[in-house]
Copies of this chain bind each other. A is one copy, B any other.
Amino acid sequence: MKLTKSELENRLKNLNGWVYSETSDAIVKEFKFKDFREAMAFVLRVAFEAEELDHHPDIFISYNRVNLSLRTHSENGVTEKDFKIAEKIDKIE
């Protein structure tokens, strides 16, 4: 079920560096690495989490920068599923 704005804000406090993007109606975070190899290694670990949870962030890679964007398309907004994978992703680093 889609989270309300206040639920969202509360949940975001427990994450590290994720913000809500009004334009994409998603929670987003930018990650920066030493180089492309390190960025790809991170993306691959995110990919395994995504497959395991069957929930797939949009991923943008620009050399050493990775932008992740999470929303639940079926609920047309941000849900508990997005926070679940965000927490897993924050444990990767």
User: Which residues does chain B contribute within 8 Å of A43, judged by CB atoms?
Assistant: 43
Q: Is the CB of A36 within 8 A of B50?
A: yes
Give the B-binding residues of A (Cβ under 8 A): 36-37, 40, 43-44, 47, 50-51, 56, 58-63
Q: In the complex the two chains form, is B56's CB within 8 Å of A47's CB?
A: no
A56 to B64, CA, bound (A): 10
For A69, the closest partner residue in chain B by CB is B62
Q: List, sorted by A's number, 15 A–B pairs whose CB atoms are closer than 8 Å.
A: A36-B47, A36-B50, A36-B51, A36-B56, A37-B51, A40-B44, A40-B47, A44-B44, A56-B63, A58-B60, A58-B62, A59-B60, A59-B62, A60-B60, A60-B61
